[in-house]
């Protein structure tokens, strides 16, 4: 069974509350999402293997530890997942970035694929999928399916707010994928929006409504 990690650090909860507030504008929303992504990135990358390298300090040579960032890929689900990339890139600047374009059909709430561009060696990398919202879980499951079809075996899902329905769907379909969230909300409404949630993440990031 995949593990569900709730990262409820006070700094993250504080920033998330400001994001949820309907009065918060796009500039602050984007900035907060970037900051939270960096903070969540600490936990998502907590168990990354270290390699030993030889360096020289001003005092003497030593063997020291480094992360092999070239073994990582960040894959945002467009559009809203883009808002979480920069924060992670601040932690791992050499990580490659792939893009999966999905939008939910407004009537069926089912995801529709419109774009996929991934690093050539994606199957050799730990993949961190980013998307602020895990609602029905349809988009996340489709993105994970697409990555598995490309041979990926080491996938993590990093979202901001999740609904119980979406978490259950991902865990049932992909028990090998760990999920990282800042909050688990109550439920979905009749339009499959997360309640209380933060509204439409893509629209709030890009100011489209």
Per CB under 6 A, residues contacting ligand URA are 80, 133, 135, 193-194, 197, 200-202
Q: Residue 107 contacts by C-beta under 8 Å, 6 or more apart in sequence?
A: none
Q: Residue 108 contacts by C-beta under 8 Å, 6 or more apart in sequence?
A: none
Question: Residue 94 belongs to what H/E stretch?
Answer: none
Q: In angstroms, what is the minimal distance from the CB of 92 to ligand PRP?
A: 22
41 binds, among ligand PRP, ligand URA, none (CB under 5 to 8 A by kind): none
194 binds, among ligand URA, ligand PRP, none (CB under 5 to 8 A by kind): ligand URA
3-state DSSP assignment of residue 9? coil
Q: In angstroms, what is the minimal distance from the CB of 82 to ligand URA?
A: 13
Catalytic positions: 104, 108, 200, 203
Q: Give contact residues for ligand PRP (rule: CB under 6 A).
A: 77-80, 102-104, 109, 111, 131-140, 166, 192, 200-202
Answer yes or no: are the C-beta atoms of 91 and 42 closer than 8 Å: yes
Q: In angstroms, what is the minimal distance from the CB of 116 to ligand PRP?
A: 14
Of the two residues 71 and 157, which places its CB atom closer to ligand PRP in the complex? 157
Of the two residues 45 and 136, which places its CB atom closer to ligand PRP in the complex? 136
Residues 129 and 85: their CA atoms lie apart, in Å, by 9
Of the two residues 97 and 192, which places its CB atom closer to ligand PRP in the complex? 192
Answer yes or no: are the C-beta atoms of 118 and 97 closer than 8 Å: no
Residues 101 and 117: their CA atoms lie apart, in Å, by 9
77 binds, among ligand PRP, ligand URA, none (CB under 5 to 8 A by kind): ligand PRP
92 binds, among ligand PRP, ligand URA, none (CB under 5 to 8 A by kind): none
Handedness of CA 23, 26, 31, 34 (dihedral sign): positive
Tokens representing 81 are 């997942």
Cis peptide bond prior to 79, omega within 30° of 0: yes
Of the two residues 127 and 194, which places its CB atom closer to ligand URA in the complex? 194
């Amino acid at each position: 069974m995949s593990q569900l990690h709730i990262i409820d650090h006070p700094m993250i909860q504080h920033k998330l509350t400001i994001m949820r507030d309907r009065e918060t504008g796009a500039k602050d929303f984007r900035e907060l999402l970037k900051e939270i992504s960096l903070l969540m990135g600490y936990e998502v990358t907590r168990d990354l293997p270290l390699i030993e390298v030889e360096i020289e300090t001003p005092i003497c040579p030593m063997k020291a530890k480094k992360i092999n960032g070239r073994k990582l890929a960040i894959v945002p689900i467009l559009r809203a997942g883009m808002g979480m990339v920069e924060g992670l890139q601040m932690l791992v600047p050499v990580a490659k970035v792939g893009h999966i374009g999905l939008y939910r059909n407004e009537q069926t709430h089912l995801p529709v694929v419109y774009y996929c561009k991934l690093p050539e060696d994606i199957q050799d990398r730990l993949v961190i999928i980013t998307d602020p919202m895990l609602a029905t879980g349809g988009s996340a499951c489709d993105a994970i399916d697409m990555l598995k079809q490309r041979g990926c075996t080491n996938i993590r899902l990093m979202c901001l707010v999740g609904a119980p329905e979406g978490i259950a769907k991902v865990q049932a379909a992909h028990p090998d994928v760990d999920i990282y969230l800042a909050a688990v909300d109550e439920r979905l409404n009749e339009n499959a929006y997360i309640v209380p949630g933060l509204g439409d993440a893509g629209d709030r990031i890009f100011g489209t409504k």
